[in-house]
Amino acid sequence: MELVTQIAQVQAFTAIALGLIIGLGAIGACIGIGIMGSKFLEAAARQPELVPLLQGRMFLLAGLIDAAFLIGVALAMFFAIANPLLSKLHG
């Protein structure tokens, strides 16, 4: 196969992979944040005196939920900018 075709193929597959990484990660993170936020609001409405305690934990968990997604985004952006698979093709 010609080099140009190979490069185009790698780029195409990488682009699809990037979309999958970011898209699926975003779905998971959003569902997680949504569930947690709704539960937090419910809990805050039931027992407003617990809000300061819960708020700290909510932010902690928000960071934990976001983390896997952001690791995925970092990986995806690394592949988008400096694709190691492509540079292997260049030899």
Partner 1 sequence: MASEPQGGLTEYIQHHLTHDVITLGGGGFHLDSWIVAAALGLVFVLWFGLYARRATSGVPGKGQAFVEIVLEFVDGQVKDVFHGNRSFIAPLALTIFMWVFFMNTMDLIPLDLIGSAVKGVAGEQVAHNTHFRLVPTADVNTTFAMSISVFFLIIFYSIKAKGGWGFTKELFTAPFHAHGIVAKTLLAPFNFFLNLVEYLSKPVSLAMRLFGNMYAGELVFMLISGLMMSWATFVPGVLVNAGWAIFHILIIGLQAFIFMVLTVVYLAMAHEHH
Q: Which residues bind partner 1 (CB under 8 A)?
A: 59-60, 62-64, 66-67, 70-75, 77-78, 81-82, 86-88, 90
> Residues 22, 65, 66, 83: which is the catalytic one?
66
Give the tokens for residue 82. Answer: 């400096």
- Closest to 39 measured CA to CA, from 61, 70, 69, 23: 61
**Closer CB to partner 1, residue 45 or residue 59?**
59
Residue labelled with tokens 């985004």? 73
Residue labelled with tokens 């698979």? 85
> Closest approach of Cβ 21 to partner 1, in Å?
12
Task: Point out the residues that are catalytic.
Answer: 66
